[in-house]
DNA sequence: TATTGTTATACTCTATAACTATA
DNA sequence: TATAGTTATAGAGTATAACAATA
């Protein structure tokens, strides 16, 4: 018998890999957020764009992309879709850039979505005390900074 | 130094969202791992399959998929590619299942890749003390379990 | 020259549906 | 009936290259 029968659990050589668990946790959390935001016909990436525009009215599309790590080429269809659904409006800054703002509809959708995000965040943090939450947040930001290639 | 008319630094409303930082950290770490593994012509998903087969010789393709959260439909091309590159071999168990094993080439490639993974893990954990590392790992596993939908 | 925004394209991972062959 | 494996296809996210217009 080179290994235990298939009815038993497999050995999981990835169980103690921080990078693997980081990915699995991220995928699981994103899937849940995606489901929850679907109520408002929003995808997570669209939601993040709305949040940045709301916090920085008049921001340009390129600036939003740099903030979120989304390339210009990929921002175009996202903003285009948000504009088409009347969630975001574009107003010319100069003749090559446009200022982005939320429409009233966009602000309303964002408001509803923020409740979903707050619930999601609560669920993520549940079971952690202050010290653990700080350690986790420090780890995540540190990893992001140390591993970032900043190509967007 | 020409600047756009808007502010130099944007407000980042996502800075304190655990879910967002989890995703950004995961994406950054995966991109680094992907680059590193490319030396061995392996993608992260392929590497994880090799690890599970190595730890469970004779495992079936479906079992590997369940362990890794990869659906049967997506396992087929992954294992097919690994077999075509002579990293994995299939041997019939019954007439619908096949046992997977690493070839000698597969074991050699895995050995080289494990060094890359070890370096990656070190880099991920650098700067954390024991307590922080435990808190982070507990958080990640807890999130994965609480948010998992187990549909694969 | 550098930047904004766009289109086209491709790759990875993920997802469902439909199908066969077998247990 | 349930499972193993396959194929086809689609949706997201991410990536590069190339282009026009403008700063």
pLDDT at A6 over 80: no
Mean pLDDT, rounded, for A101-116: 96
pLDDT at B9: 85
Q: Largest alpha-carbon pair distance within chain A?
A: 73
Which letter does DSSP use for residue B60 in this model? E
Higher pLDDT, A143 or B2: A143
Name B133's Cβ contacts closer than 8 Å, sequence gap at least 6.
A18, B125
pLDDT at A86 over 80: yes
Mean pLDDT, rounded, for A134-146: 95
Q: Which two tokens stand for residue B121?
A: 């893990």
**DSSP-assigned letters across all residues of chain A:** --S--TTSPPP-TTTT-HHHHHHHHHHHHHHHHHHHHHTTT--HHHHHHHHHHHHSTT-BHHHHHHHHT--HHHHHHHHHHHHHTTSEEEEESSSS-EEEEE-HHHHHHHHHHHHHHHHHHHHHHTT--HHHHHHHHHHHHHHHHHH-----
Give the model confidence (pLDDT) of B67-117 as tens digits. 999 999 999 999 999 999 999 999 998 989 999 999 999 999 999 999 999
From the Cβ of A31, is strand C under 7 Å away?
yes
Angstrom distance, A4 CA to D13 C1': 38
C-alpha–C-alpha distance, residues A43 and A65, integer Å:
16
Give the model confidence (pLDDT) of B10-60 as tens digits. 999 999 999 999 999 999 999 999 999 998 999 999 999 999 999 999 999
C-alpha–C-alpha distance, residues B44 and B76, integer Å:
16
C-alpha–C-alpha distance, residues B74 and B43, integer Å:
14
Residues facing B102 on adjacent strands: B88
| A83 vs B: CB within 8 A | no
Work out the number of other CB atoms within 10 angstroms of the CB of residue B71: 13
Mean pLDDT, rounded, for B124-139: 94
Which letter does DSSP use for residue B16 in this model? T
Q: Which of residues 102-131 of A touch B (CB under 8 A)?
A: 117, 120-121, 123-128, 131
| pTM (predicted TM-score) | 0.92
Give the model confidence (pLDDT) of A37-54 as tens digits. 999 999 999 999 999 999
From the Cβ of A57, is strand D under 7 Å away?
no
pLDDT at B149: 78
C-alpha–C-alpha distance, residues A8 and A99, integer Å:
58
Q: Which two tokens stand for residue B69?
A: 């959260």
pLDDT at A4 over 60: no
pLDDT at B8: 60
pLDDT at B64: 96
Mean pLDDT, rounded, for A110-122: 95
| A38 vs B: CB within 8 A | no
Look at residue B91 and give its three-state secondary structure: strand
C-alpha–C-alpha distance, residues B89 and B94, integer Å:
15
Look at residue B98 and give its three-state secondary structure: strand
Mean pLDDT, rounded, for A54-72: 96
Q: Which two tokens stand for residue B53?
A: 């087969």
C-alpha–C-alpha distance, residues B136 and B150, integer Å:
22
pLDDT at A150: 67
Q: Please provide the average confidence, as pLDDT, over all residues in chain A.
A: 91
pLDDT at A149: 76
Q: Is A113 exposed, middle or buried (0-12, 13-18, 19+ CB in 10 A)?
A: buried
pLDDT at A148: 84
């Amino acid at each position: 018998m080179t290994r235990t029968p298939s009815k038993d659990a497999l050995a999981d050589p990835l169980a103690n890999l921080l990078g693997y668990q980081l990915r699995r946790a991220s995928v699981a959390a994103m899937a849940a957020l995606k489901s929850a935001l679907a109520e408002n016909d929003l995808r997570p990436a669209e939601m993040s764009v709305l949040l940045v525009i709301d916090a920085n009215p008049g921001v340009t599309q390129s600036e939003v992309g740099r903030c979120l790590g989304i390339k210009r080429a990929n921002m175009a269809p996202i903003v285009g879709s948000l504009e088409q659904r009347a969630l975001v409006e574009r107003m010319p800054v100069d003749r090559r850039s446009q200022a982005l703002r939320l429409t009233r509809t966009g602000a309303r959708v964002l408001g509803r979505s923020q409740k979903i995000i707050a619930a999601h965040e609560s669920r993520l943090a549940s079971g952690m005390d202050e010290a653990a939450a700080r350690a986790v947040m420090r780890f995540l930001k540190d990893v992001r900074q140390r591993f970032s290639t900043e190509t967007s």
